[in-house]
Amino acid sequence: MKITILEDSAVHRVRLETAIRKGMAELGVAARILATGKIMEFEASLGRDTSHHLYFLDLDIQGERNKGFEVAQLIRRYNPHAIIVFMTDVPEVSPLAFQYHVSALDFIDKDGADYDKRVKECLEYTARQLRIIDQKGGSSLL
């Protein structure tokens, strides 16, 4: 599984990467993880993204409110099948995703008590989807 994290706060980025690694270990699934806080590094990685992919995006990036929605639109141009999860400390903005037409899987509250559980659920969902694709004759992404 390929996972990319765009989170400009080092503390939140490390916490998310730790939750992902823990969830992947519990699921017994391997993953390649790219974690960055820099939009330019993230955008450069999109050019190499040619398959299904799971993205965890911060909404407020480098002081730009809702920048994560714009980044999700960019992802959709490169990869219409990507699975996108937004990470936020302002969960009430989640309805804005409909205005940006980015088809998010989930909005996870960074301060939520169920943070690790929600991250793992997203990993489980993605693993199931990738297995379905593989069974239908697609390339194995796991």
pLDDT digits (tens, 9 = 90+) for 64-103: 888 999 999 999 888 888 999 999 887 666 666 666 667 8
| Lowest mean per-residue pLDDT among 52-61, 94-103, 129-138 | 129-138
Residues 122, 124: Cα–Cα separation, whole Å: 5
Q: Decide if 126 is inside a domain.
A: yes
Residue 136 lies in a domain: yes
Task: Please give the sequence-ordered ranges of beta strands (E in DSSP) within 48-97, or none if there are none.
Answer: 54-58, 83-88
Distance CA 55, CA 82 (A): 7
Q: Which domain holds residue 127?
A: 108-142
**pLDDT band, very low/low/confident/very high, at 38 (cuts 50, 70, 90):** very high
Q: What integer pLDDT is reported at residue 111 of this predicted model? A: 92
Taking the C-alpha atoms of residue 17 and residue 12, their distance in angstroms, rounded to an integer, is: 8
Look at residue 116 and tell me if it is in a domain. yes
In a domain, 18, yes or no: no
Q: Does residue 12 lie in a domain region?
A: no
Look at residue 56 and tell me if it is in a domain.
no
Q: Are residues 36 and 74 in the same domain?
A: yes
Residue 71: inside a domain: yes
Whether this prediction's pTM lies above 0.75 is answered by yes
Q: 86 in a domain, yes or no? A: no
Is 1:127 a contact under the CB 8 Å cutoff? yes
Amino acid 129 reads Q
> Count of domains in the chain?
2
